Amino acid sequence: MSTPQLRRGMKGVKQCVLVMAACAVGTARAFTFDTGPDWAVNLDNSVQYTLGWRMQKINPLIGNDLFFSQGDYKFPNLGEMVTDRAQDLIEFQASYEKRLGMRVTGSVWKDFAYDNEAKQNPAYSFINAYSPNGDRYTSYAHRYFVEGAEFLDAFVFANGTIGEIPVYAKAGRFTQYWGNAFFFGFSNIAYSQHPIDYIKGFTQPGSEVKELFLPRNQVMLSADLTPTLSVAAQYFLEFQPNRYPESGTYLGFFDVLFNQPGSGALQGFGIPRNDGEILPPNNDQNYGVKVSWSPEWAHGDLGFYYRQFDEVDPWAALVNPATGDLQSTFARKAKLWGISYERTFGLTSTGFEVNERFDTALNSAALAPTNTGATGTITNAIANVFVQLGHTSIWDTGVWLAEFSYTHLNSVTGNASLYNGVGTANCHLNGTAAPGGWMDGCSTRNALAFATLFDPQWLQVFPGIDIDTPISLTTGIFGNPAYRAGAFYAQASKIYSVGVKATYKARHSVELQYNGYYWRPNGTADNGLGIGLPAYAGFGGNGPVSLNDRGWLQLTFKTSF
């Protein structure tokens, strides 16, 4: 590590120590307003400070790739700080006799490791002039990676009765998670119920999907018809897409996707740039109905679901073949029916989901000459287990979560010529015209993936301090899911983390964690510039292989008051 990098790293550590010291002497309780017995009014703050360092050298086959270079060269040196981020989540809630109330939350952040400039392979500097603005962050990327703020929840609620039936109403921006899946956000019943913050997801492997949900404007009504039967319905008044690491950021995995246009190198060689998103209307008949039933004979909880929704994960569509401009577009009015079941056995809880999606977005040919992609019908099945670890000679307590996700492609029903599946004309070997297979990122009819989080804990190791060691892994066992973004769970993929965490009086925590990523690369070729730099062939292999050299060490401090 160079002297300037060491100084930056020590500065970040000092900042973290100062934050910890300030919080240690401050109050450890949420602020509760004295409003009398009828009202309950609280104000909470949750502060998080994160430092991160690159732990892998640049792989030349990634750094030389026209589509991958910006992410690799933003922080190119081993040991370089890749994030130095302070964030505060502010929560205000008030309720009157637990019948009427409101909740407003917001977040503000600043990452001191980032400036407003995207970097690229120095070998490409001779073509920078092709795109004088291509190496600056857009306002969108600046907001989420350099500094910004946003409101999250903002809703009102009312609880009452109609006759003797309890009824609950909510309106505004909030999240609602249906089903009982833990990890697989593209195959579960709650798919596209809300957008997912994959910026957070990539930096915190092992997070449950519901922890990554972003709120949308909606209205929701529910009623307890009997002690064992309830119904709920929601209608959405806002569309928001998934949030991903952008081009030119450390975990940005493809330089022409999402809201950052892409490097000057790409545009200088006539490769399309991304011009943002074509969003569905906010009010586009997105709704859902849920029935929850707990009959005695089931010995558990059953759920039945029907939803119509615009998908929150985009295709990359060539919307203007004449100019070569890409834009992110979204499948509209997909349908889903689903069934869930959950049952507890002592310290073990099991969950199951089955859902079928119609007119859902499928893995589609890159640069397809249309503003849509292939659609079809798929069936997903999820099974999981949640185990509370009992006291043993090895640990005091803890949890273990494990989940399988299976996807089957029933049929391709729309734009079949664009479907990128094994055996189709779009499935090519190593970016050539030769037929390809699953190793080239082509979808298979069946796919199975697995995810787990193992977190043993030791209590009162020091006075007031508990220690745990969270270990997570998500991997593709066989096949590539046919749905859009199935590459994240492609065969042989691995997203993993290993950490150690200390928690003081259940309010303050410090965690040191290594995060790593792997997708199977597939062959090499010249990078296309004619200057003799080898790179991964085509788009690299079976998934976002650009992240294979982005392993990093993360130090996170959290506190609430």
Query: What is the tens place of the pLDDT at every residue in 91-145?
Result: 999 999 889 999 999 999 999 999 988 888 888 766 554 444 557 788 888 899 9
DSSP state of 448: E
Query: What is the pTM for the complete model shown?
Result: 0.89
Give the pLDDT confidence score for residue 397 in this predicted structure.
96
**Residue 12 is inside which H or E element, if any?**
helix 3-25
User: Pick from 284, 314, 328: which is nearest to 186 by CA?
Assistant: 314
If DSSP codes are grouped into helix, strand and coil, which group holds residue 62? helix
Handedness of CA 355, 358, 361, 365 (dihedral sign): positive
Q: Which residues sit opposite 287 in a β-bridge?
A: 235, 308
Q: Residue 152 half-sphere exposure, CB side, CA atoms within 13 Å?
A: 21
User: Pick from 362, 459, 349: which is nearest to 412 by CA?
Assistant: 362
Higher pLDDT residue, 230 or 316?
Answer: 230
- Residue 297: pLDDT over 90: yes
- Residue 10: pLDDT over 60: no
User: Pick from 324, 546, 329: which is nearest to 418 by CA?
Assistant: 329
- pLDDT tens, position by position, 444-467: 999 999 999 999 999 999 999 999
- pLDDT tens, position by position, 493-529: 999 999 999 999 988 999 999 999 999 998 787 766 6
**Whole-angstrom Cα distance, residue 90 to residue 283?**
29
- Residue 225: pLDDT over 50: yes
- pLDDT tens, position by position, 331-362: 999 999 999 999 999 999 999 999 999 999 99
**Whole-angstrom Cα distance, residue 413 to residue 358?**
9
> pLDDT averaged over the chain?
87
Give me the torsion for CA of 481, 486, 491, 495, rounded to 10°: -140
**Whole-angstrom Cα distance, residue 357 to residue 306?**
10
Give the pLDDT confidence score for residue 270 in this predicted structure.
58
Give the pLDDT confidence score for residue 269 in this predicted structure.
58
Q: Which amino acid is at 122?
A: P
**Whole-angstrom Cα distance, residue 504 to residue 21?**
13
Compute the C-alpha angle 210/215/221, nearest 5°. 90
- pLDDT tens, position by position, 356-370: 999 999 999 866 666
Give the pLDDT confidence score for residue 132 in this predicted structure.
46
If DSSP codes are grouped into helix, strand and coil, which group holds residue 24? helix
Which stretches within 338-446 are classed as H helix? none
- Residue 326: pLDDT over 80: no
Q: Which residues sit opposite 43 in a β-bridge?
A: 31, 92
Give the pLDDT confidence score for residue 24 in this predicted structure.
36
- pLDDT tens, position by position, 135-161: 778 888 889 999 999 999 999 999 999
Give the pLDDT confidence score for residue 273 in this predicted structure.
63
Give the pLDDT confidence score for residue 239 in this predicted structure.
95
Give the pLDDT confidence score for residue 253 in this predicted structure.
83
Concatenating the DSSP letter of every residue in 349-363 gives EEEEEEEEEEEEEB-
- pLDDT tens, position by position, 35-58: 778 889 999 999 999 999 999 999
The gap from C-alpha 278 to its chain's centroid, in whole angstroms, comes to 20
**Whole-angstrom Cα distance, residue 129 to residue 275?**
19
CB 367 within 8 Å of CB 318: yes
Give the pLDDT confidence score for residue 430 in this predicted structure.
73
**Whole-angstrom Cα distance, residue 2 to residue 505?**
38
The confidence band for 561, taking pLDDT boundaries of 50, 70 and 90, is confident
Higher pLDDT residue, 397 or 366?
Answer: 397
Q: What are the tokens at 454? A: 């193992």
Higher pLDDT residue, 480 or 10?
Answer: 480
Higher pLDDT residue, 319 or 199?
Answer: 199
Concatenating the DSSP letter of every residue in 193-250 gives TS-BBHHHHHHSTT--HHHHB--EEEEEEEEEEETTEEEEEEEE------B-PPTTST
- pLDDT tens, position by position, 243-280: 989 888 999 888 777 776 665 556 555 566 666 778 89
Q: How many CB atoms lie within 10 A of CB 411?
A: 9
